[in-house]
Structure 1
Amino acid sequence: MATIQSKNSRGYKYWYIVESRRVNGKPRPIVLAYLGKADDLLKQLQGLTEKLRLKSYSHGAVAALLSVANALDVPSVINKYIKSPRQYCAKKPVRNNLTAGSTLLLGAVGRVCVPTSKRGWWDWAKTTTAEYLLRHSLSKIDSQHFWDLMDALPEESIAEIERELIEKTFKTYNLQSDTLFFDTTNFFTYIDTTNLRCTIARRGKNKQKRYDLRQVGLAMVVTRNDMIPLFHHTYQGNMADAKVFSAVLETIKDRMTGLGFDSKKHTIVFDRGNNSMDNMAIVERLALHYVGALTPYHHKQLVGDAMCNFREYDVDGSKIQVYHDKRVIWGQERTVVVFISEKLKVGQLRGMSKSLEKAEHQLKLLQQHLCNPKGKMRDKEGLEDTIRSVVKCQFAKDVIDWSLKEVSEGKFQLNFSIDQKKLEEIEGELGFRILMTDHHDWDTADIIKAYYGQSKIEHAFRNLKNPYHLALKPQFHWTDQKIRVHFFICVLGYLMAAIVWYQAKAHAQFSGTLDTLLDTLNNIRLSAMLEETKARGRVKATYKLEEMSDKESLLMNALGIMDFHKHRLKLQGLSVYN
């Protein structure tokens, strides 16, 4: 073993690196290196530190997601369904030594961490440990790389890939399920109106109020406990929710059967927008248990009966007035629960107030124009059509009374008022929720709690619209196939993130949101110490995790990625098709 020793000579102390060896059977100190005086040694050390360069990379989120991808064998699953476009002859495409499956996986990982365009993907990836963990150069991945390999995934194969990945998810992580939530949303695009090659992007009722843009719809089913997306479907933006629901019900039942779910122990929960007599007939034919909602406007007799027979129930510590009964609805006996949601009522009152305020303002402006003696001549029928368009909005048409009187040729007087009695009646009918189910043995609280679990899928949709993580936008694709593949990449990213979230909650008692978890993991960094060596052009790199908080250390251990050297991955299907 070598040691540092000093030797005094002519009043100065000199330092050496010395090793003890046996010479002719006797121990002798052998000088390995002369270090000089203490000042000389200090100068050498200072020169060494000047040659060191430090660089750090975002590590935690990428490592966690790639660990999940490795457990699910994501690239190989996708690669099984990849086809060979004409330009690649009979071979499956490989670009920059990466397969289509690994490329789509890398796109999904990027979507989870920091949503960017395909062109900006490498600008993000080079700030992370993706290259280090995969042992693979990624610097040549650009938008053309993604487009070429996205082309190789047939639209019809997306459902099969998703099915296989979900089956692996439940087996690998031993997940449990009982209640499933279905809902739909849409995402506006900037696809030009004159683009006739894109049929999936249509104008419709946009959830983000962008009625001026074409949109694409997304339907999803997630589990109650862990918000795992079991199914997704990309559809034309102008399709009604009820029509979408009827189109995917058979597929949802097949997915449940493939996962080995006992339909007797599973309940699908959906909102009133998905309801119709035909849809309920399909649900009953497929023998699916359900909790759904009804529109109070279409069931006024039920609402009237409820108002006279409310009883107080305790639901998660809150006292609410509830009416519980059985009714024949659409030819079948169903258990119905009617109650008043205070949160819904407050929102409806606010909406009604804004609607009336806007209508009153427009009618007052019209009154002023009609009273102007220099105003233009008016046609009565056209004027009446204008007034009807103003008061046709929700609530206003029921409470605003108006009359139009002709005072001279082409001149009219407009009078209007708000019927306070009708207004009070409407206010008394606001906030009603009507739930229906075939679980006749469930108590009231169970039915209400099952329906309120619908917020789980709404939370999933909010994540997919989060501009910082998981966002489905930006998307700059304009062909049907590319749009569907892009949506698949985003849902795949959400699936992997949901699994990471499940692990954090199960093994690290993490109680924050998915957004908070991803922020925490992105802040865990791996530093690289780069040291120049005597060998020409060679740089020695030493990697070390930066200092972490107790919370971060707990998460890394729970996710099994603390030992980053051990978890440098060689994903199956990364660069070669199996």
Structure 2
Amino acid sequence: MGSVVGKRINGRTYYYFVESARVDGRPRIVAQRYLGSAEEIAAAVDGGGGMPESTRQLTFGDSAAVWGTLERLQVAPAIDEIVGRRKVSVGRYLALAVLQRAVAPCATLADWWAETAAERFIRPRFAAETVRDEQFWQVTRRLTRTQLERIEEEVVSHIRLDAPVTLAVDIPNFATYAESDTADAALAGLSAVVTRDGAIPLVSHVYQRGVPFGVAASRLAARHRGEVTVVFDAGQQAQLDLDAGRHFVGALPLADFPELLVRPASVRRPVDPDRFAGLTALDTHATVSGVRRRVVLTHSARLHAAQVRGFAQALSTATRQLDGLALALEAGTNRRTREQLLTELARITRVRWVDRVLTARLTGGKPGELRLEYRIDEAARARLDEELFGKQLLVTDHDDWSVLDVITAYRARYHLDSTFRMFHGSFVAAPAPRWDWTEQRIAVHSLVSTLAAAVTHLMRQEADRAGLDLSVRELLEQLSRIGETVLRYPSTGGRPRTRRVLTSLSGSQRQLFELFNLEAYAP
């Protein structure tokens, strides 16, 4: 049963629509909805209250999904259990920093807080004036390296993983720390133990660049207390002893194995059309550093197309520069010596793959007589397309792994590196003008970044298992498009009315909305 009732507050009457029902045999109000003052109701009836006075757009989906995952993992309570009870919760501030690092890495805490709906659903509430970078660094200034390591291990232990295969990966360009755009930079690398499926970081260690990867891998394995497989890039092979007893998956320089490059495409087999569309592989053996080892030659149609485009652009740039130089020589405007011109020609043509197909020849001896000729070797260009583009060569001692497992392990490093590049950009500015990047602050910042990567990679894995093949970047971008619109209606003498609604959802956004239970955080 419904009726309209008025309530007298501070000399004014406000009206509510109330619904009544019998509870335990007695009439009770079970629901009520505010209608407004008499003036507001009259304005609405006349059509004057239908249009909002202003609107405001807030980010919702990405913040709600990441915060929901942080709550599910009990990140804040786990951190507070380690650091102890304090006047201000260290766990809540670290969890907030992880959220901001994941969804708005280029913004300050204060700027992001002003544009997100997170202030509505994060409980207990943060006062707006406390959500600032300076406050975060004050709260975390006493955290020791031992505490930071324990925090990482405790948070990761809440991620339910069924006996995962783990990998040791190295990100030598993890972050470049600087006090300002012009200050001397501190270059940092990061080694981590991650899961093969999902590349979820479990243990990490930040270091000054220059530490050999083999040393970092040994330290990580000792902390992880479990068997790990070392994953290395083509340039890191020299830092590792492949006969040291560790399992490994790594890349080899293609040019060192010409006999494999000329094998016809017909010998390669599709790897997994669902997970890796257009990827084929040849599982074979080759002599690597004097030892017969298992190698996997892969060819990606997507990588092939990208390399063809990049090569065409590089070749076009080189020929355009050569044309300009040739015209200058013919016009007699050149004043450089033959040696200087040869140096310039080497610079123009010494580009990856361009030097294989482009040859330039300088004729004449005196400056006024010098002429330039160049040619493109189409046969060499065809060999590039057939033998090199789209290919990678991997080596491993895992004879028990499938080709899919080997490729997944190798790509884990690139997934993690891509996520960190998204978090940091070209360099990490100082947290505040009067503070510099001490070892302790770099360690705190690295922990926040690593936890953000762990949470977002876990979310990506959950989306993948739900049938949504998205990278971390694509996942967060889809979620960020689920916005919250705040509609503010004009006052007609009573209290201003505010209504919050979510933007419309696409099909994939609806799936993500349900997967991450965003209804629990919706207005």
Task: Give me the TM-score of the superposition, normalised by structure 2.
Answer: 0.69
* Partner of residue 397 from structure 1, selected from 355, 360, 363: 355
- C-alpha spacing 1:62/1:342, structure 2 compared with 1 (3 Å): closer
Contact 2:164 2:195 in 1 (8 A): yes
Alignment correspondent of 1:246: 214
User: Which whole-Å CA distance do the structure 2 matches of 1:4 and 1:336 have between them?
Assistant: 78
Alignment correspondent of 1:274: 236
- Equivalent position SS for 2:101: helix
TM-superposed deviation, 1:397: 3.0
User: Which whole-Å CA distance do the structure 2 matches of 1:175 and 1:269 have between them?
Assistant: 21
**What are the Cα deviations for residues 235-262 of structure 1, in whole angstroms up to 9, with x where unaligned?**
456x5xxx653242113323542xxx5x
For the aligned residues, what is the CA RMSD? 5.0
Contact 1:111 1:493 in 2 (8 A): yes
The amino acid of 1:476's aligned partner reads: A
The amino acid of 1:161's aligned partner reads: I
Alignment correspondent of 2:376: 418
Contact 2:179 2:437 in 1 (8 A): no
The amino acid of 1:123's aligned partner reads: A
User: Which whole-Å CA distance do the structure 2 matches of 1:526 and 1:250 have between them?
Assistant: 51
* Partner of residue 291 from structure 1, selected from 236, 243, 249: 249
TM-superposed deviation, 1:372: 2.9
The amino acid of 1:495's aligned partner reads: A
* Partner of residue 197 from structure 2, selected from 215, 222, 225: 225
**What are the Cα deviations for residues 432-467 of structure 1, in whole angstroms up to 9, with x where unaligned?**
43221212345xxx225531564455344444455x
Structure 1: gaps of 5 or more residues: 6-16, 20-40, 83-91, 202-215, 530-538, 566-578
Alignment correspondent of 2:406: 450
- Equivalent position SS for 2:123: helix
Is the counterpart of residue 334 in structure 1 residue 293 in structure 2? yes
Is the counterpart of residue 178 in structure 1 residue 179 in structure 2? no
- Equivalent position SS for 2:370: strand
Alignment correspondent of 1:311: 267
- C-alpha spacing 1:498/1:269, structure 2 compared with 1 (3 Å): same
In the TM superposition, 1:134-153 aligns within 5 A as 134-135=124-125, 137-153=127-143
Is the counterpart of residue 167 in structure 1 residue 157 in structure 2? yes
- Equivalent position SS for 2:347: helix
The amino acid of 1:74's aligned partner reads: V
* Partner of residue 195 from structure 1, selected from 172, 177, 183: 183
- Equivalent position SS for 1:169: coil
Is the counterpart of residue 361 in structure 1 residue 324 in structure 2? no
Alignment correspondent of 2:330: 371
**What are the Cα deviations for residues 226-284 of structure 1, in whole angstroms up to 9, with x where unaligned?**
442224444456x5xxx653242113323542xxx5x3xx65544434323x4143xx4
User: Which whole-Å CA distance do the structure 1 matches of 2:480 and 2:37 have between them?
Assistant: 39
User: Which whole-Å CA distance do the structure 2 matches of 1:168 and 1:175 have between them?
Assistant: 12
Contact 2:198 2:457 in 1 (8 A): yes
The amino acid of 1:379's aligned partner reads: T
TM-superposed deviation, 1:558: 6.1
TM-superposed deviation, 1:145: 0.9
- Equivalent position SS for 2:130: coil
User: Which whole-Å CA distance do the structure 2 matches of 1:79 and 1:339 have between them?
Assistant: 47
The amino acid of 1:142's aligned partner reads: R
The amino acid of 2:98's aligned partner reads: A
- Equivalent position SS for 1:486: helix
Contact 1:163 1:255 in 2 (8 A): no
Is the counterpart of residue 384 in structure 1 residue 384 in structure 2? no
User: Which whole-Å CA distance do the structure 1 matches of 2:381 and 2:182 have between them?
Assistant: 45
User: Which whole-Å CA distance do the structure 2 matches of 1:254 and 1:399 have between them?
Assistant: 49
User: Which whole-Å CA distance do the structure 2 matches of 1:547 and 1:384 have between them?
Assistant: 61
- C-alpha spacing 1:346/1:99, structure 2 compared with 1 (3 Å): same
Contact 2:167 2:196 in 1 (8 A): yes
- Equivalent position SS for 2:395: strand
Contact 1:100 1:149 in 2 (8 A): yes
- Equivalent position SS for 1:291: strand
Alignment correspondent of 1:486: 445
Alignment correspondent of 1:120: 111
- C-alpha spacing 1:165/1:332, structure 2 compared with 1 (3 Å): farther
- C-alpha spacing 1:505/1:356, structure 2 compared with 1 (3 Å): closer
User: Which whole-Å CA distance do the structure 2 matches of 1:345 and 1:309 have between them?
Assistant: 13
Contact 2:176 2:427 in 1 (8 A): no
Task: Give me the TM-score of the superposition, normalised by structure 1.
Answer: 0.64
- Equivalent position SS for 2:327: helix
User: Which whole-Å CA distance do the structure 2 matches of 1:54 and 1:296 have between them?
Assistant: 60
- C-alpha spacing 1:315/1:372, structure 2 compared with 1 (3 Å): same
- C-alpha spacing 1:275/1:80, structure 2 compared with 1 (3 Å): farther
